[in-house]
Amino acid sequence: MDTKIVYPAIFTYDEKESCYLVDFIDFNCSTFGKTIEEAFFMAEEAMGLYFEDEKEYPASTQDYKRISLKKNQFISLVGVDMIEYYKRHSNKSVKKTLTIPEWLNVLAENDNVNFSQVLQEALKEKLIIDK
């Protein structure tokens, strides 16, 4: 599964509220920001939250240039790296039960091995995740 996802979003400047509204074209998700920078940041966060528990992502509209826009609107691509999103927002510890041979357990305990740390490092290496 690719963890870097990009989708087009329509940004609308709301003159009455003095903010930018952001609506994604391919899924039902909206957000806003007082500045354009905040709107982009909030769009990335909203997309991460929307897809947080998803295993698959919808196809991204490829022909978004044909979408007619209203006054004060533009389309921009917004992307998020879901691994980085998970690192920022889902960093709580989860207890796992595992089984290893007794002789290996004795050697590791005698050497004061931190089992949790070793498992985390091994999983990051196995999944090719930067530390």
SS3 content of the chain, % helix, strand, coil (to 5): 35, 25, 40
Instruction: Examine the domain organization and report whether 128 and 75 are in the same domain.
Output: no
Structure tokens at 104: 């290996």
Q: Measure CA of the first residue to CA of the last residue in the chain; give whole Å.
A: 19
Whether the pTM exceeds 0.95: the reply is no
Q: What is the pLDDT along the chain (131 residues), one digit of tens a residue?
A: 578 999 999 999 999 999 999 999 999 999 999 999 999 999 999 999 999 988 889 999 888 878 899 999 999 999 999 988 988 888 788 888 999 999 999 999 999 999 999 999 999 899 888 76
> Count of CB atoms within 10 A of residue 90's CB?
10
Q: What is the CATH number of the domain that holds 73?
A: 3.30.160.250
Instruction: Examine the domain organization and report whether 20 and 75 are in the same domain.
Output: yes
Largest CA distance in the chain: 71
- CA-wise closest residue to 21 among 45, 39, 38, 47: 39
Residues 6+ positions from 10 with CB-CB distance below 8 Å = 22, 23, 25, 67, 69, 73, 74, 75
Instruction: Examine the domain organization and report whether 110 and 76 are in the same domain.
Output: no
Give me the domain span that covers residue 13: 4-89
Instruction: Examine the domain organization and report whether 13 and 48 are in the same domain.
Output: yes
